């Protein structure tokens, strides 16, 4: 099933030699990384990040926005138990068509997980990272989690390991995490104020006792920050995830941002609350709403001067497989894996990844070329555009096949990735094609244009009616360069009085965490 | 009387299995069961029964009223 991956790389690949020349002209000075902070070439890493850190993140799709277009990850669901209760989680509810944390189709033993890693690594050579993210908490299942890492280290030593934890048990396991070369750890920290924590966490289970209320939140917060300090002191990269819950911790997350930055966190990922009554969560049932896209962006923007903000998180399942935004988990059920003839070929993976690197360089060069064109323009105008993509940083997805749109903010300083919008509304059927189009338009209603490889006549007309320009003339070209070229034309038309620039509306940040029923 | 797990409410998360000091809990067909012969209600180990304290679903690990309370040997 590697055909689609190959397609992604070959699409536009013919321009590589040409763009390499352009690249040489521009001396490889480019922008990389998830925060939109400028930096000079891949040598310097992202922002003010040192080279050794850049080496760790450059092929990690969750730690580098630029890498997430090219490299894939997989989660292995070996950790079902949890040691805390969160008001946004309900372990009883499960649905194969859902995409949100805490959801898996089948639990694995460490041995099954290792086999699955080899199967995926062979079929998807750009899969660079294996993580344990649940469906409970990896460190509430330390034996299963660490046994899995030991096996992967032994069988596929080129694969990076990471884990995602609530942090309660973290301080007890820092030595093991370091010994097993887990060099990326994500801690979910939603508060540093126990009064706020009591509204998010009904209880924790700690040292053989259940704690509730403010006492529980206080222990959790202390343990999270202690664990973060211990990891960063050892040079282990830490990302902090925070769930944005309007009316509970929205303003407070600025304080969380300062607290985690001062303790050495590398990246902060503010994610929208996923809340819907049918999930049966405390928040879902109480009518607690999730934030709008603008609310998430506003908070990310307000923290960005302080540290790198992650904007490309897909809040994926604890058994997700593939590029962020796609889930190929259904191709790798244990039943299918047992029938596979798996040959792990590290050399072939290296060769494939070398090709991926060429595409990355070409993409950067295309962007530089268009940025140079834009250099003469001067305007205060900023617009958002949506992009349908299958990966590799290319506009290579049909409008009607897109399961999500990537969102870029365009200004005279260039194209900046600011997020994504999942759009598949159906879980148990019962929704027609019309509602799918409505959901798609609702999800990108804050955008001036949508870039696609192809689009049908009917959706095209509906988009134009909604004030969103469907753009298909950049099919199979790089996103950044194309978006900047389009923006240049847009500014020209505004300056010549051919069109009038108007602000767009707000849009939905999440659609109940559902993915395709297909 | 020992604890029992209401199977229809069990999520199969396994959190109780590793916390049980008596190794009385095991998985069968995706849900967990408590062996009433081994359960001591955590007496002599902890202040509160561990399966109850760690279970993510309220009222799922409950006393089995059909059986007599556990008695610690004198």
What whole-number distance in Å separates Cα of residue B74 and Cα of residue A264? 55
CB contact under 8 A, B53 and A208: yes
Question: Given CB atoms, is B60 within the 8 Å cutoff of chain A?
Answer: no
Q: Which residues are CB-contacts of A43 (< 8 A; sequence separation ≥ 6)?
A: A51
A205 close contact with B: CB closer than 8 A = yes
* B18:A209 CB<8 A: no
Reference A141, options A77, A80, A90; nearest CA is A80
| Residue A183, SS3 per DSSP | strand
State whether residue A211 is helix, strand or coil.
strand
Taking Cα atoms as reference points, which of A194, A298, A305, A199 lies closest to residue A247? Answer: A199
Q: What is the interface pTM, i.e. ipTM, of the complex?
A: 0.94
* Site of tokens 């069961």: B33
Give CA angle at A134 (A133, A136), nearest 5°. 140
A180 touches chain B (CB under 8 A): no
CA distance A142 to chain B (A): 10
**Low-confidence residues of chain A: pLDDT under 50:** 1-46, 96-97, 425-432, 511-518
A204 contacts on B by Cβ (under 8 Å): none
| Residue-level pLDDT at B71 | 79
What whole-number distance in Å separates Cα of residue A58 and Cα of residue A357? 11
Alpha helices in A156-308 (DSSP H): 174-179, 194-197, 213-233, 253-262, 282-286, 293-304
Q: Using the beta-carbon criterion (under 8 Å), do A205 and B48 form an inter-chain contact? A: no
Distance from CA of A91 to the nearest CA of B (A): 6
CA-nearest residue to B45 within chain A is: A208
B15–A136 C-beta distance less than 8 A: yes
Nearest CA in chain A to B19: A208
**pLDDT computed for residue A358 by the predictor:** 87
Strands in A55-168 per DSSP E: 72-75, 84-85, 127-132, 160-165
Handedness of CA A445, A446, A449, A450 (dihedral sign): negative
Whether the per-residue pLDDT at B5 is higher than 50: the answer is: yes
Query: What string of DSSP letters covers A276-321?
Result: -GGGT-HHHHHTPPPPBHHHHHHHHHHHHTTS-EE-------TT-E
The verdict on B62 touching A (C-beta cutoff 8 Å) is no
H helix and E strand count, chain A: 16, 16
For B33, the enclosing helix (H) or strand (E) is: strand B31-34
Query: Would you call B56 and A107 a contact, using CB atoms and an 8 Å cutoff?
Result: no
The answer to whether A210 faces chain B, any CB pair under 8 Å, is yes
Check pLDDT > 80 for residue B18.
yes
Strands A267-272 and A383-387 turn out to be unpaired
Taking alpha carbons only, the member of A212, A272, A205 closest to residue B55 is A205
pTM: 0.78
- Round to whole Å and give the CA distance between A191 and A206: 18
Q: For A463, phi and psi rounded to 5 degrees? A: -65, -45
Nearest CA in chain B to A206: B54
Residue A454: name the closest of A474, A469, A433, A435 by CA.
A474
For residue B43, the chain A residues in CB contact (below 8 A) are: none
């Amino acid at each position: 099933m590697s055909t689609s991956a190959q397609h992604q790389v070959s699409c536009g690949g013919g321009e590589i030699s040409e763009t390499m020349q352009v690249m040489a002209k521009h001396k490889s000075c480019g922008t990389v990384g998830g925060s939109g902070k400028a930096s000079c070439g891949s040598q310097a890493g992202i922002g003010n990040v040192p080279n050794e850190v850049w080496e760790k993140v450059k092929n990690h799709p969750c730690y580098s926005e630029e890498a997430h277009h090219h490299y894939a990850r997989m989660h292995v669901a070996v950790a079902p138990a949890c040691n805390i209760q969160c008001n946004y989680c309900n372990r009883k509810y499960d649905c194969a068509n859902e995409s949100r944390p805490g959801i898996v189709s089948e639990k694995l033993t460490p041995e099954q997980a290792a086999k699955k890693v080899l199967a995926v690594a062979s079929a998807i050579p750009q899969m660079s990272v294996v993580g344990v993210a649940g469906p409970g908490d990896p460190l509430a299942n330390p034996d299963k989690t660490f046994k899995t890492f030991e096996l992967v280290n032994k069988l596929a030593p080129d694969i990076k390991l990471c884990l995602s934890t609530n942090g309660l048990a973290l301080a007890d396991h820092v030595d093991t995490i370091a010994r097993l070369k887990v060099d990326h750890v994500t801690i979910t920290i939603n508060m540093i104020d126990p009064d706020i924590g009591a509204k998010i966490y009904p209880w924790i289970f700690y040292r053989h006792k259940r704690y509730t209320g403010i006492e529980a939140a206080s222990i959790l917060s202390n343990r999270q920050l202690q664990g973060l300090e211990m990891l960063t002191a050892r040079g282990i990269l830490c990302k902090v995830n925070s769930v944005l819950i309007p009316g509970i911790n929205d303003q407070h997350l600025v304080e969380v941002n300062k607290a985690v930055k001062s303790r050495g966190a590398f990246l902060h990922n503010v994610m929208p609350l996923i809340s819907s009554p049918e999930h049966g969560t405390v928040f879902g049932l109480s009518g607690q709403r999730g934030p709008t896209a603008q609310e998430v962006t506003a908070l990310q923007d307000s923290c960005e001067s302080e540290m790198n903000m992650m904007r490309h998180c897909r809040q994926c399942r604890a058994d997700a497989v593939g590029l962020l935004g796609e889930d190929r988990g259904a191709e790798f059920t244990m039943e299918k894996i047992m029938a596979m003839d798996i040959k792990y070929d590290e050399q072939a993976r290296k060769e494939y990844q070398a090709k991926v690197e060429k595409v990355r360089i070409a993409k950067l060069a295309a962007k530089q070329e268009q940025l140079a064109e834009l250099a003469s323009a001067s305007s205060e105008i900023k617009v958002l555009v949506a992009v349908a993509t299958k990966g590799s940083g290319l506009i290579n997805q049909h409008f009607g096949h897109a399961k999500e749109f990537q969102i870029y903010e365009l200004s005279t300083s260039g194209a900046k990735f600011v997020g994504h919008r999942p759009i598949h509304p159906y879980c148990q059927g019962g929704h027609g094609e019309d509602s799918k189009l409505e959901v798609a338009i609702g999800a990108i209603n804050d955008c001036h244009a949508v870039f696609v490889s192809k689009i049908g006549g009917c959706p095209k007309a509906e988009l134009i009616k909604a004030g969103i320009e469907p753009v298909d003339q950049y099919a199979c070209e790089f996103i950044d360069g194309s978006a900047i070229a389009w923006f240049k034309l847009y500014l020209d038309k505004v300056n010549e009085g051919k069109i009038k620039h108007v602000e767009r509306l707000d849009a939905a940040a999440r659609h109940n965490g559902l993915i395709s029923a297909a | 009387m020992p604890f029992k797990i209401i199977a229809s409410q069990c999520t199969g998360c396994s959190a109780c299995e590793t916390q049980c000091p008596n190794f009385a809990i095991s998985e069968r067909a995706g849900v967990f069961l408590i062996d009433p012969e081994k359960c001591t209600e955590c007496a002599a180990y902890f202040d509160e029964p561990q399966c109850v304290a760690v279970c993510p679903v309220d009222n799922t690990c409950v006393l089995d009223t059909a059986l007599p309370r556990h008695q610690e040997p004198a």
